[in-house]
């Protein structure tokens, strides 16, 4: 059977339970396709560990024990998620050789669910970028056309899932880093509500914006993974102790009467073909009994500068810990401690990371703090209120995930701000802390995927996954070239 739009996780569970394939054989299939792959999606492959874990699952199967949904499913993690004893570098030279001594909570939870870890995935250095090309090993490629980028920063995660060399993956989303690559690679990516998933053990870029999210072939798979990783964690003081979400049982609910808002400002400067695809998708919802209303949302355009000011300020503080003393890279020659730290950081960080550290220090420095950092915080409150008002009227909002489809590799941008504009549709979600999901909704004239973004109020993941799933069941993937790639089950 070829890879179709049906969830791969359920299929794997059935195959393993029915003994059509052993977990070791399945893992071997993935590892062999990873070796053959030209996507540059993996930065570390954990062959030995994956086989060991697979054997344990096989023992469980032969003893007649029932498997849960994620048990034995070969998957991979963005290289920003700490894995005990396995190199975790954020694709930065400054963390080369660093092996965490503990597991991030999300990985601990998946491990408890019997996940088989194939390896760690490529990303923009410290999750700063929209193309994955800021990685110290070069960018992950787009499986739909390897001359195009995978998107970023979780480019390796989206590329591996789309190219069928991981059944699912985790990414992180600070300004769109799960949704935008998912959109570029034609897969599904969920950015959960801030506080819904533990950030413990996830190397921080901007702590007030970061969230871990699943990337998978289908909404159903994303829902299963989200249910496994979400929930309160004692180790993350920003995780919410009051909310428990189980989304899977509701993904087929009827959406008749759903109120959809379309914020007009999200469509400024968006490619025509993308606009058309979203309009078509919206018609599908209308045919299912949803009501559609276009509305003005002027506040949203300030999200991008607000995000870059605040995220860079937080990054400056978070990245101050990399001094070459305790882990990772350390410069060889130095004459005092200050020179050691400065040389280590200058040699260890790439240009985009340095750029953001410098901007962060600028907006936090005396004389500029009030006019940039403090004002951006005030505006963040204004944008949050504007979204609250929108969600009083509408159940969900629908927008494009990105104003463009995957651009060519090594594309020259005239300045850094030009590439920041690629985040314009995704950044508001992180500024406000709400959830957002990207689902494939068509292809452009070059055959590159288009993503539709669905947004809901805080902790509305069940509704979002339900709405996304309803659309997905309506669409088909016959134009998806990637179905013949990688592991075919």
Partner 1 sequence: MISRDEMLNLANLSKLYLSEDEIEDAMKEMDGMIDFANQIKEMSPNSHETPNINGLSNALRDDEVIESYPQNKILENVNGGKDGYFYIKKYN
**Active site residue ranges:** 78, 153, 177
- 441-to-188, 292, 400, 412 alpha-carbon distances in Å: 10, 18, 10, 28
The stretch near partner 1 (CB under 8 A) out of 12-20, 335-343, 392-400, 476-484 is: 335-343
Q: At 373, which helix (H) or strand (E)?
A: none
Which one of residues 340, 404, 448, 455 is an interface residue with partner 1 (CB under 8 A)? 340
x/- mask, partner 1, residues 215-234, rule CB under 8 A, reads: -------------------x
Spatial distance between the Cα atoms of 61 and 77, rounded to a whole number of angstroms? 25
Q: Residue from 14, 112, 378, 410 that binds partner 1 (CB under 8 A)?
A: 378
Strand order in the sheet with 291-295: 42-45, 116-121, 74-78, 168-173, 211-216, 188-191, 436-443, 449-455, 396-400, 259-263, 291-295
Distance in Å, CB of 195 to partner 1, minimum: 4
Per rule CB under 8 A, is residue 357 in the interface with partner 1? yes
For the bound state, the minimum distance from the C-beta of residue 155 to partner 1, rounded and expressed in Å, comes to: 23
278, 363, 441, 482: residue in contact with partner 1 (rule CB under 8 A): 363
Q: Does 195 interact with partner 1 (rule: CB under 8 A)?
A: yes
Binding mask 5-44 for partner 1 (x = CB under 8 A): ----------------------------------------
Cis peptide bond N-terminal to 153, omega within 30:
yes
Distances (CA, A) of 196 to 18, 104, 488: 34, 15, 33
Which of 62, 371, 410, 479: binder of partner 1 (CB under 8 A)? Answer: 371
The mark string for 276-305 relative to partner 1 (x by CB under 8 A, - otherwise) is: -----------------------x--x-xx
Least distance from partner 1 to the Cβ atom of residue 330, Å: 8
Distance CA 486, CA 103 (A): 28
Compute the least distance from the CB of residue 346 to partner 1, in Å: 4
Among 362, 444, 481, 483, binds partner 1 (CB under 8 A): 362
Q: Are 167 and 73 in contact (CB under 8 A)?
A: yes
Tell me the CB-side half-sphere exposure of residue 167, using CA atoms within 13 A. 29
> To 10 degrees, what angle do helices 105-112 and 219-229 make?
110
| Cα 93 to Cα 168: distance, rounded to the nearest angstrom | 26
Q: Give the nearer residue to partner 1 in terms of CB position, either 342 or 483.
A: 342
Verify binding: residue 267, partner 1, rule CB under 8 A.
no
**Which of 14, 32, 249, 346 forms a contact with partner 1 (CB under 8 A)?**
346
Q: Got the DSSP string for 41-86?
A: -EEEE-HHHHHHHHHHHHHHHHTTPPP-TTTT-EEEEETTB-BTTB
Closest to partner 1 by CB, 249 or 365? 365
266 near partner 1, rule: CB under 8 A: no
CA dist., res. 229 & res. 54, Å (int): 20
Q: Closest CB to partner 1 among 194 and 477?
A: 194
Q: Specify the DSSP element, H or E, that contains 118.
A: strand 116-121
Q: Contact, 81 vs 212, CB < 8 A?
A: yes
Angle between helices 219-229 and 8-17 (to 10 degrees): 80
Can residue 68 be called a binding residue for partner 1 (CB under 8 A)? no
Our CA angle for 411, 412, 414, nearest 5°, is 145
What are the residue ranges of helices labelled H in 349-436? Answer: 351-364, 375-393, 416-420, 427-432
Name the residue nearer to partner 1 (CB basis): 272 or 336: 336
Nearer to partner 1, 211 or 223 (CB): 211
Between 99 and 273, CB nearer to partner 1: 99
- 365 part of the interface to partner 1, by CB under 8 A: yes
Distance (Å, rounded) from C-alpha 46 to C-alpha 434?
34
Q: Which is nearer to partner 1, 9 or 359 (CB)?
A: 359
Q: Which is nearer to partner 1, 348 or 449 (CB)?
A: 348
Bridge-partner residues for 440, per DSSP? 451
Residue of 10, 111, 375, 481 interacting with partner 1 (CB under 8 A)? 375
Residue 377 interacts with partner 1 (CB under 8 A): yes or no: yes
The residue ranges that bind partner 1 (CB under 8 A) are 97-99, 101-102, 194-195, 208, 234, 237-238, 240-241, 299, 302, 304-306, 308-309, 316, 320, 323, 325-328, 330, 334-338, 340-343, 345-346, 349, 354-355, 357-359, 361-363, 365, 371-372, 375-382, 384, 415-417, 420, 433
């Amino acid at each position: 059977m070829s890879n179709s739009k049906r969830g791969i996780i359920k299929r794997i569970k059935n195959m393993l339970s029915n003994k059509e394939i052993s977990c070791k054989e399945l893992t071997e299939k993935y590892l062999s396709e990873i070796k053959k792959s030209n996507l540059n999606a993996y930065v570390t492959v954990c062959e030995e560990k994956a086989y060991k874990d697979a054997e344990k699952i096989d023992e469980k199967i032969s003893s007649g024990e029932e498997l849960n949904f994620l048990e034995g499913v070969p998957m991979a993690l963005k290289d920003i998620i700490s894995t005990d004893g396995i190199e975790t570098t954020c694709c930065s030279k400054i963390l080369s050789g660093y092996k965490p001594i503990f597991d991030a909570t999300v990985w601990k939870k998946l491990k408890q669910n019997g996940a088989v870890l194939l390896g760690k995935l490529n990303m923009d250095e410290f999750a700063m970028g929209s193309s994955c090309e800021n990685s110290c090993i070069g960018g992950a490629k787009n499986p739909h056309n390897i001359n195009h980028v995978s998107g970023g920063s979780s480019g390796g995660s989206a590329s591996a899932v789309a190219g069928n060399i991981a059944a699912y993956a985790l990414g992180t989303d600070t300004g769109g880093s799960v949704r935008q690559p998912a959109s570029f690679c034609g897969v599904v990516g969920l950015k959960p509500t801030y506080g819904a998933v533990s950030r413990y053990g996830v190397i921080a870029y901007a702590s007030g914006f970061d969230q871990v999210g699943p990337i998978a072939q289908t909404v159903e798979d994303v829902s299963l993974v989200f249910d496994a990783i979400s929930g309160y964690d004692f180790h993350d003081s920003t995780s919410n102790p009051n909310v428990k979400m189980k989304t899977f049982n509701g993904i087929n609910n009827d959406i008749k009467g759903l109120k959809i808002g379309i914020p007009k400002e999200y469509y400024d400067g968006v490619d025509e073909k993308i606009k058309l695809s979203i309009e078509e998708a919206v018609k599908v919802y209308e045919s299912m009994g949803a009501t559609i209303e276009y509305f003005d949302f002027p506040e949203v355009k300030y999200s991008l500068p607000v995000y870059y000011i605040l995220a860079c300020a937080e990054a400056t503080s978070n990245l101050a810990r990399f001094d070459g003393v305790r882990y990772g890279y350390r410069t060889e020659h130095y004459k005092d401690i200050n020179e050691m730290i400065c040389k280590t950081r200058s040699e260890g960080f790439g240009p985009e990371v340095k750029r953001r550290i410098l901007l962060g220090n600028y907006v936090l420095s005396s004389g500029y703090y009030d006019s940039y950092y403090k004002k951006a915080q005030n505006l963040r409150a204004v944008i949050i209120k504007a979204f609250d008002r929108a969600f009083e009227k509408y159940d969900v909002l629908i927008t494009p995930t990105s104003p463009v489809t995957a651009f060519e590799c090594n594309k020259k941008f005239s300045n850094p701000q030009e590439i920041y504009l690629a985040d314009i549709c995704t950044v508001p979600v992180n500024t406000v802390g709400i959830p957002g999901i990207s689902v494939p909704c068509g292809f452009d004239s070059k055959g590159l995927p288009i993503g539709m973004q669905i947004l809901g109020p805080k902790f509305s993941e069940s509704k979002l996954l339900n709405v996304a799933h309803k659309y997905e069941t309506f669409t088909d993937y016959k134009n998806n070239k990637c179905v013949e790639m990688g592991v075919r089950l």
